[in-house]
Amino acid sequence: MIPNEMSRRRLLGLGIGLGAAATLTLAGCGGGDDSSGPAAGNGGKDYTGPKVDLKLWNGFTGGDGEIFKTLVSQFNSEHQNIAVSVATYQWEDYYNKLPGAASSGNGPDIAVMHMDQLATFAARGVITELDDVATTLELTEADFAPTVWKGGIYNNKRYGIPLDMHPLGFYYNKSVMEKAGLDPNKPPTTRDDFTAALTELKKSGVQGFWISPFQFTGGMSFYSLVYQFGGSLFDAEVNKATFNSDQAVEACTWMVDMIKQGHSPSNVGQDAEYLALKSGKNAFTFNGIWQINDLKKSPDVQWGVAPLPQIGSTPAAWANSHNFTIVKQRANNANKVSASKVFINWLSQHSLDWAKGGQVPARKSVRDSADFKALTEVGALAPELEYAAFPPATPGLGEVLTTFYNSFNEAALGKKSPKQALDDGVSKANKQLEDNRKKYGS
């Protein structure tokens, strides 16, 4: 059985397509709906209007959800005229329900959204522009990593205020390394070091680096290596898929060779590579920053975490980011919109507390603080923010990324050669991108 925490974490990186939007019946937005008179607010700095009740949707179903709810409670205690209530769903249900709920007037006021979903929901008219929030609060690219900041923009308008980023990290089992004669405090950082370590592990009877054929986490590892080897998933305009380039084929071949050379079993089950690391059956795995808190609950496992080793010619790591958005309402309530902006600003400023849930804060000032640096394990992955490979802001991208991950799955399972799998995937992805341009008018 796969632990529920890991099952829901498989959805954290998403790349899932939006299905038909189901209509969700929720209690309508409660008290404080009096929108008479001018809104009391100024782009998120403060709110002095009448009491409003805000609905907030998110997908934080694991341990980070409790931290998130604690922060919301703190906000409510500090703002007597704003009451935020939280509704939590599995991410895949959340994204399918949101459009229908919003159009029927039963949606939330505030929605947490992954960076790779912002453009889709903006194009569908589900979320509203937030340029005034950035302007009023004097937020600029300098306050964030450039990739995170730019990821909230669609058609030259801002739709998301970034809260965090969550990258892949390199986890290693110190006990397994030590038994193979490796220094448990010096994980490999280069391709040569990685290859040498795997050779020693194999001599000791350990398959050191299991390759998962699934998106979580083999596909996301391949995503990282495409960029490490100098390739990309798409062209600059995201009009064409490019994940069958020579560089991408080389990256995919390197991963498939891990299986052929005996460093990984074939047909690794979902999350089996992570469970093997915890049980001492392998030494290395690429997995999300969200596993840090899970490993902290496993005192018998001697482990460490570091940025991904550089297997290709340049450092790169898959990453995504949670953003705050404001949902468009059938009947606009200016007071609720103003209060929502105050909440978004407040939680962004309190992202150090959010980091304890296993996320790298988006705000540079928080990342540079001594308090954040004291979060040793999470802080170890903060450098990846500078070279993280985020998905582009393009409507309908989720289903195209699913095609990318499925292509890797076919190669990892030996159903097709790396080149054939990626060529076939690109053909399908290009048709999806063309359809999306017609659908979304971009």
Question: pLDDT digits over 387-414, tens only?
Answer: 999 998 899 999 999 999 999 999 999 9
Domain assignment present for 389: no
Domain assignment present for 238: yes
Residues near 53 by beta carbon (within 8 Å), at least 6 away in sequence: 29, 30, 31, 32, 83, 85
Say how many domains are in the chain.
2
Question: pLDDT digits over 152-164, tens only?
Answer: 999 999 999 998 9
d(CA 258, CA 266): 9
What pLDDT score was predicted for residue 270?
A: 93
Looking at every residue in the chain, the average pLDDT score rounds to 89
**Binning pLDDT at 50, 70 and 90, where does residue 41 land?**
low
Neighbours of 246 (CB within 10 A): 11
Say whether both 75 and 205 belong to one domain.
Answer: no
Q: Which residue has the higher pLDDT, 36 or 323?
A: 323
Question: pLDDT digits over 45-65, tens only?
Answer: 889 999 999 999 999 987 788
Lowest-confidence range among 10-24, 205-219, 369-383? Answer: 10-24
Rounded average pLDDT over 286-297: 92
Say whether both 310 and 421 belong to one domain.
Answer: yes
Rounded average pLDDT over 325-346: 92
Neighbours of 439 (CB within 10 A): 12
Domain assignment present for 211: yes
- Please report, as a single letter, which amino acid is at residue 295: L
- Please report, as a single letter, which amino acid is at residue 162: P
d(CA 376, CA 354): 15
d(CA 166, CA 359): 5
Say whether both 116 and 213 belong to one domain.
Answer: no
Say whether both 77 and 202 belong to one domain.
Answer: no
pLDDT beyond 80 at 89: yes
Nearest to 11 by CA among 71, 86, 95: 95
Domain assignment present for 374: no
pLDDT beyond 90 at 384: yes
Nearest to 71 by CA among 361, 294, 428: 361
Rounded average pLDDT over 353-372: 87
Domain assignment present for 63: yes
What pLDDT score was predicted for residue 65?
A: 85
Say whether both 107 and 193 belong to one domain.
Answer: no
Question: pLDDT digits over 120-158, tens only?
Answer: 999 999 999 999 888 877 888 888 878 888 889 999 999
**Binning pLDDT at 50, 70 and 90, where does residue 273 land?**
very high
Say whether both 190 and 219 belong to one domain.
Answer: yes
What pLDDT score was predicted for residue 233?
A: 98
Task: Please write down the HEC assignment for all residues of the chain.
Answer: CCCHHHHHHCCCCCCCCCCCCCCCCCCCCCCCCCCCCCCCECCCCCECCCCEEEEEEECCCCHHHHHHHHHHHHHHHHCCCEEEEEEECCHHHHHHHHHHHHHCCCCCCEEEEEHHHHHHHHHCCCECCCHHHHHHCCCCHHHCCHHHHHCCEECCEECCEECEEEEEEEEEEHHHHHHCCCCCCCCCCEHHHHHHHHHHHHHCCCCCECCCCCHHHHHHHHHHHHHHCCCCCECCCCCCECCCCHHHHHHHHHHHHHHHCCCCCCCCCCCHHHHHHHHCCCCEEEEECCHHHHHHCCCCCCEEEECCCECCCCCCEEEECEEEEEECCCCCCHHHHHHHHHHHHHHHHCHHHHHCCCCEECCHHHHCCHHHHCCHHHHHCHHHHHHEECCCCCCCHHHHHHHHHHHHHHHHCCCCCHHHHHHHHHHHHHHHHHHHHHHHCC
What pLDDT score was predicted for residue 2?
A: 37
Which conformational region is residue 14 in: left (phi greater than 0), alpha (psi within -120 to 50 degrees), or beta?
A: left
Say whether both 68 and 106 belong to one domain.
Answer: yes
Domain assignment present for 380: no
Say whether both 172 and 80 belong to one domain.
Answer: no
Full residue range of the structural domain in which residue 154 is found: 4-163+321-349
First to last CA, the chain: 43
What pLDDT score was predicted for residue 245?
A: 98
For residue 234, give the CATH number of its domain.
3.40.190.10
Say whether both 223 and 341 belong to one domain.
Answer: no
pLDDT beyond 90 at 11: no
What pLDDT score was predicted for residue 145?
A: 78
Question: pLDDT digits over 200-248, tens only?
Answer: 999 999 999 999 999 989 999 999 999 999 999 999 999 999 999 999 9
Say whether both 339 and 412 belong to one domain.
Answer: no
What pLDDT score was predicted for residue 26?
A: 31
Neighbours of 413 (CB within 10 A): 15
Q: Are 317 and 211 in contact (CB under 8 A)?
A: no
Say whether both 175 and 144 belong to one domain.
Answer: no
Domain assignment present for 245: yes
Lowest-confidence range among 15-29, 170-184, 229-243? Answer: 15-29
Say whether both 245 and 213 belong to one domain.
Answer: yes
Which conformational region is residue 34 in: left (phi greater than 0), alpha (psi within -120 to 50 degrees), or beta?
A: beta
pLDDT beyond 90 at 22: no
For the chain, percent of residues with pLDDT exceeding 90: 73
Domain assignment present for 64: yes
